[in-house]
Amino acid sequence: MSNYKSGFIAIVGRPNAGKSTLLNALLKEKIAIMSDKPNTTRNNISGILTNEDCQYVFVDTPGIHKPQQQLGRVLNKNAYSAMEDCDVIGWIVDGSQAFGTGDSFILKRIETLHKPVVLIMNGKEQLLKRLMYWQKQYDFNDIVPISALDKDNLEELLKVFKGYLPEGEPMFPEEMKSDHDINFRMCEIVREKILFKTHEEIPHSVAVILERKEKRGNRMYLQMMVVVDRESQKGILIGKQASMIRSIRLDAQKELKDMLGCSVDLELFVRVEKNWRNHENKIKEFGLDD
């Protein structure tokens, strides 16, 4: 495989800049869950795109932010480790937003790494005006305007990334699309439904753990534990006459059935682990410390 290229691209940015939307658009498959809630992505999720002359390993990172809890510090650490270990950084910014303190926070980190940085301007509004402003902030190796939602200019972005990847054999089998196993992805689907249906503190306080998985014939039986950090959140998550948890379960069951290609019976339980987001051992136990 002469001149074959392969390498790691860290997709970084503020919470809600469109990192997961971009990853799914590039891979033409849902690899990372999406919602409009900050810190939807908690783990570094690799999406693998294999072409005949290049393998791109995209690492979708948690949004870098000013942490309020230990969990936030761990999420930032996950994002930083991806930036340190990659061949090129793809910094995605929302083209409709002005440069803010969150951006200067990321910029400070980027400046210490001395790696190629591609600025990805996401969206269609006021791009030219913003572009000129961003060019003054840092000497980017490349700037690529895209729309992750409309899948605009993604081929150009791939071409630019390829220019920064080293020559080398593919690191993953061609058919592999993600480095996370099916169990992780099933739990993430349940968490995504919770993010869509709940508000305030709940989306940030939830962890989902697979307790049991059993296949009988063409039917998959799943039991998952939803962990929250306060008793009051448990009540909201279950809802009046268990209406909320039922609605989450039915939505998740439907998507899991499509994903697994068989009927799914999903049971959800809710448990309170007081203040778990500040306990390092709990964060590790729930698989959130990469």
The pLDDT of residue 290: 62
Of all residues in the chain, the percent with pLDDT exceeding 70 is 99
Q: Does 287 score more than 90 pLDDT?
A: no
Q: Pick the range with the lowest mean pLDDT from 26-35, 94-103, 122-131.
A: 122-131
Residue 25: phi and psi, rounded to 5, are -70, -40
pLDDT value of residue 69: 86
Is residue 238 very low, low, confident or very high in pLDDT (cuts 50, 70, 90)? very high
Residue 62 has pLDDT above 80, yes or no: no
Segment 58-85 mean pLDDT: 85
Rounded to the nearest integer, the mean pLDDT of the chain is 91
- Angstrom distance (rounded) from CA 7 to CA 9: 7
Please tell me the predicted confidence (pLDDT) of residue 97: 85
Q: Is the pLDDT at 1 greater than 60, yes or no?
A: no
Asked whether residue 76 carries a pLDDT value surpassing 90, the answer given is no
DSSP the chain: -TT-EEEEEEEE-STTSSHHHHHHHHHTS--S---SSTT---S-EEEEEE-SSEEEEEEE-PPP---SSHHHHHHHHHHHHHHHH-SEEEEEEETTSPP-HHHHHHHHHHHTT---EEEEEESSTTHHHHHHHHHHH---SEEEEEBTTTTBTHHHHHHHHHTTSPB---SS-TT--BSS-HHHHHHHHHHHHHHHH--TTHHHH-EEEEEEEEEETTEEEEEEEEEESSHHHHHHHH-GGGHHHHHHHHHHHHHHHHHHTSEEEEEEEEEE-TTGGG-HHHHHHTT---
Q: What angle do CA 41, 46, 47 make, to 5 degrees?
A: 105
pLDDT digits over 101-155, tens only? 889 989 999 999 999 999 999 987 777 778 888 999 999 999 999 999 999 999 9
The rounded distance, in Å, linking the Cα atoms of 260 and 65 is 34
Neighbours of 81 (CB within 10 A): 15
DSSP 240-253: GGGHHHHHHHHHHH
| Nearest Cα to Cα of residue 27 among 176, 145, 136 | 176
Mean pLDDT of 54-64: 88
What is the Cβ-side half-sphere exposure of residue 64, based on CA atoms within 13 angstroms? 25
Residue at token pair 């072409």: 51
Q: Pairing relation of β-strands 263-272 and 207-216? A: unpaired
Q: At residue 39, does pLDDT exceed 80?
A: no
What is the per-residue pLDDT across 160-213, written as a single tens digit (0 to 9) for each? 999 999 999 999 999 988 888 899 999 999 999 999 999 877 878 899 999 999
pLDDT > 70? residue 2: no
Predicted local distance difference test score (pLDDT) of residue 110: 94
Rounded CA gap, 54 and 149, in Å?
A: 24
| pLDDT given for residue 159 in this prediction | 97
The torsion of the CA quartet 234, 240, 241, 246, rounded to 10 degrees, works out to -70
CA distance 121 to 131: 8
CB contact at 8 A, 55 and 262:
no
Question: Of the given ranges (120-134, 181-195, 218-232, 260-274), which has the lowest mean pLDDT?
Answer: 120-134
pLDDT of residue 98 exceeding 90 = no
